[in-house]
Amino acid sequence: MKIIVLVAFIGILGALAAAGVLMLRKQKGKATMARALTVRITLSVALFLFILFSAYMGWIHPTGLPLGK
């Protein structure tokens, strides 16, 4: 579980870095930067949905602060 989340975060940061590099290059154009940002958004939404699904299936358990303390 932790490995999946870690790989997703690395992919999100990689897509963000790629979009930043493509933004600085003028000869590539905006299409490749938009594609990199689309990949980042897709990975972020997929990670969020995977975390929700994992909580629903009982693979992870939310923890919070104790109410009495």
Tell me the per-residue pLDDT of 42-67, one tens digit each, with 9 for 90 and over: 999 999 999 999 989 988 888 876 76
Residues in the chain: 69
Tell me the per-residue pLDDT of 10-44, one tens digit each, with 9 for 90 and over: 999 998 898 888 888 766 667 778 888 889 999 99
Q: C-alpha distances in angstroms, 34 versus 8, 26, 60? A: 19, 14, 34
Give the per-residue pLDDT at 29.
62
- Model's pTM, two decimal places? 0.74
CA within 13 Å, CB half, 38: 6
Q: Helix 30-57 to helix 2-24 angle, to the nearest 10 degrees?
A: 170
CA within 13 Å, CB half, 47: 19
Query: Rounded to an integer, what distance in angstroms lies between the CA atom of residue 43 and that of residue 30?
Result: 20
Give the per-residue pLDDT at 68.
65
